[in-house]
């Protein structure tokens, strides 16, 4: 009995609530936000600016992948087109037609694209920002939405100038100054230099930090979970977010499993646990879609390493099944893999997993997935460095 009281006090401390009832209500609210909060990102700019490639990059897709936004030197986006995130269906990237295209004029652009549907706007250019971009930014501001200027294809400029003896730092300073000068009527504009081919390079991490600052917490979390793992630091940030969310899932899952309702038992607890770990697996970039993006020279050894994790492989199998019966079997394999990580939890499984055991299993599961993702990124970096020698 004392142990149970200690467990309860520890979980209440994690929740910040004085009673179990309030902790359960808060946990359910947090889990609901984790599952259902929507985020709609509008990407716009002039024709040929690289909007579609940017949309694909932040969805973790190559331009040639199935479901990618079509790219081209001419305007390929003729109307606002929604591209759902591959693993988070409530996060949507909107590829908007270029302003000034035949069917979308600057004067009516905001109403034509239904500006109220989007959380913020990213205005993209592959060269200098022009009067139409400034006009659009002013309209966005007038409608109380945030906007951010993204200068794409920066790597091309850096490579070209290096051949002329200009350093990368000098080139970046010149590009940024030119962008800011063109936008000076807006005050200090938020300008970020990026390349869609390598999000870690240049200013993309700065852009993410600014977006996190400007978004509400639940939408901020949706952004962090949806973006690909482009750096070690960002993987750490995702890991921290999942660890903080684990207590809510443990309490919500435990409350369901303990509910005195016929038919609600450990199966409900399992479904929530598996769903949470699957989100983690996808967000850490361990799914097949992401791993297939790796260069061929590094893919084979990395896939071999990933297959060593029983939990990763169980989630991969559970995620790929098509029928309810197969899904239940897949979920059972995920739990079996968890029990191997946390053998003590197996002893209490038949009576219903306690809140503390559920939390411990979740944290150990998240830790295992994080460890595999960390090794994937370290191996990819090491092998890429060797290839560049």
Report the pLDDT value the prediction gives residue 297, as an integer from 0 to 100.
73
Residue-level pLDDT at 282: 94
For the chain, state the CA radius of gyration: 23
Residue 383 is part of which domain span? 1-35+229-388
Examine the domain organization and report whether 247 and 335 are in the same domain: yes
| Residue 117 DSSP one-character state | G
Decide which of 205, 225, 245 is a domain's last residue. Answer: 225
Tell me the two tokens of residue 388. Answer: 């560049």
Instruction: Provide the number of structural domains found in the chain.
Output: 2
**298 and 211 share a domain?**
no
Is there a single domain that holds both residue 72 and residue 13? no
Residue pair 125/45 in contact by the 8 Å Cβ criterion: yes
SS3 of residue 265 by DSSP: coil
Q: So what's the pLDDT on residue 265?
A: 39
333 in the same domain as 201: no
Query: Contact 255/19 with Cβ under 8 angstroms?
Result: no
Most confident of 69-83, 131-145, 248-262: 131-145
Closest CA to 365 of 385, 335, 325: 335
Mean pLDDT value across the chain: 83
Question: DSSP string of 138-196?
Answer: HHHHHTT-EEEEEE--HHHHHHHHHTTT--HHHHHHHHHHHHHHHTGGGSS--EEE--T
End of a domain among 191, 206, 225? 225
% of the chain residues with pLDDT over 70: 83
Tell me which of 123-127, 240-244, 383-387 is least confident: 383-387
Give the model's pLDDT for residue 20: 74
Position with higher pLDDT, 123 vs 340: 123
All residues at 6 or more sequence positions from 146 whose CB lies less than 8 Å from its CB, including other chains: 120, 121, 140, 214
Same domain, 170 and 205: yes
Joined tokens for residue 205: 């991490």
Cα dihedral 172, 176, 182, 184 in deg (nearest 10)? -160
Q: What are the residues whose beta carbons fall under 8 Å from the beta carbon of 241, sequence distance 6 or more?
A: 221, 224, 225
* pLDDT surpassing 80 at residue 98: no
Residue 137 has pLDDT above 50, yes or no: yes
b/e map 152-177, b = 16+ CB within 10 Å: bbbbebbeebeeeeeebeebbeebbe
Report d(CA 309, CA 295) in Å as an integer. 21
Predicted confidence at residue 356, as pLDDT, reads 74
pLDDT at 335: 84
- Per-residue pLDDT at 364 exceeds 90: yes
pLDDT at residue 120 is higher than 80: yes
Same domain, 119 and 26: no
Q: Is 256 helix (H, G, I), strand (E, B) or coil?
A: helix
The pLDDT of residue 354 is above 70:
no
Question: Pick from 196, 225, 254: which residue ends a domain?
Answer: 225
Average pLDDT, integer, range 93-114: 76
- Class of residue 313 by CB neighbours under 10 A (exposed 0-12, middle 13-18, buried 19+): middle
User: At CA 236, angle to CA 234 and CA 242, rounded to 5?
Assistant: 105
pLDDT, tens only, 207-260:
999 999 999 988 999 999 999 998 899 999 999 999 999 988 988 887 655 443
Q: What pLDDT, on a 0 to 100 scale, did the predictor assign at position 330? A: 76
Question: Domain of 89: which CATH number?
Answer: 3.40.50.300
pLDDT in the model for residue 358: 80
Provide the H-helix boundaries in the chain: 2-15, 20-36, 51-58, 109-112, 131-142, 154-162, 168-182, 204-214, 217-226, 232-258, 266-283, 288-291, 296-306, 310-320, 324-341, 343-349, 355-388
Residues 348 and 378 in one domain: yes
Computed from CA positions of residues 352, 357, 363, 367, in that sequence, does the dihedral angle turn out positive or negative? negative
Q: Would you give the end-to-end CA distance of the chain in angstroms?
A: 62
The CA distance from 365 to 95, in Å, is 36
Confidence of residue 79 (pLDDT cuts 50, 70, 90): confident
Q: For residue 261, is pLDDT > 50?
A: no
Q: Do 277 and 369 fall within a single domain?
A: yes
pLDDT higher than 60, residue 58: yes
**pTM score, two decimals?**
0.84
Residues 68 and 137 placed together within one structural domain of the fold:
yes
Q: Using the predicted structure, report yes or no on whether residue 75 has a pLDDT greater than 50.
A: yes
Same domain for 162 and 299? no
Residues 196 and 277 in one domain: no
**Which one, of 82, 77, 179, lies nearest residue 134 by Cα?**
179
pLDDT higher at 206 or 63: 206
Secondary structure class of 114 (helix, strand, coil): coil
Q: Are 68 and 28 in a shared domain?
A: no
């Amino acid at each position: 009995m004392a142990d149970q009281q200690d467990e309860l006090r520890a979980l209440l401390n994690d929740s910040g609530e004085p009673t179990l009832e309030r902790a359960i209500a808060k946990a359910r609210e947090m889990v609901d936000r984790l599952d259902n909060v929507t985020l709609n990102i509008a990407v716009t700019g002039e024709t040929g600016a690289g909007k579609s490639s940017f949309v694909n990059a932040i969805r973790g897709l190559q331009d040639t992948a199935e479901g990618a936004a079509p790219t081209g030197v001419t305007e390929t986006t003729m109307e606002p087109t929604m591209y759902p995130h591959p693993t988070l269906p409530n996060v949507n990237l909107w590829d908007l037609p270029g302003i000034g295209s035949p069917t979308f004029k600057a004067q009516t652009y905001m109403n034509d694209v239904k500006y109220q549907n989007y959380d913020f706007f990213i205005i993209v250019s592959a060269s200098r920002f022009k009067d139409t971009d400034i006009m659009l930014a002013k309209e966005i501001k007038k409608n109380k939405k945030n906007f951010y200027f993204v200068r794409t294809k920066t790597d091309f400029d850096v490579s070209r100038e290096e051949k002329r003896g200009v350093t990368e730092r000098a080139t970046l300073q010149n590009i940024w100054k030119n962008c800011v000068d063109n936008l000076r009527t807006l005050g200090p504009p938020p300008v970020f230099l990026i390349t869609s081919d390598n999000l870690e390079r240049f200013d993309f991490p700065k852009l993410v930090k600014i977006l996190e600052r400007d978004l509400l917490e639940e939408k901020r979390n949706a952004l962090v979970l949806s973006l690909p793992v482009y750096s070690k630091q960002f993987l750490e940030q995702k890991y921290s977010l999942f660890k903080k969310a684990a207590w809510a899932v443990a309490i919500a899952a435990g409350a369901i499993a303990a509910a005195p309702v016929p038919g609600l038992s450990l199966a409900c607890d399992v479904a929530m646990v598996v769903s949470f770990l699957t989100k983690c697996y996808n967000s850490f970039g361990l799914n097949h879609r992401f791993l297939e993006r790796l260069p061929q020279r590094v893919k084979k050894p990395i896939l071999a390493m990933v297959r060593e994790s029983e939990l990763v492989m169980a989630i991969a199998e559970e995620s790929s099944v098509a029928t309810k019966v197969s899904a239940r079997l897949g979920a059972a394999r995920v739990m079996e893999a968890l029990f191997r990580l946390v053998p003590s939890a197996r002893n209490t499984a038949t009576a219903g997993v306690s809140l503390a055991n559920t939390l411990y299993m979740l944290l150990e599961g998240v830790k295992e997935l994080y460890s595999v993702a960390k090794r994937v990124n370290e191996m990819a970096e090491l092998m890429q460095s060797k290839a560049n020698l």
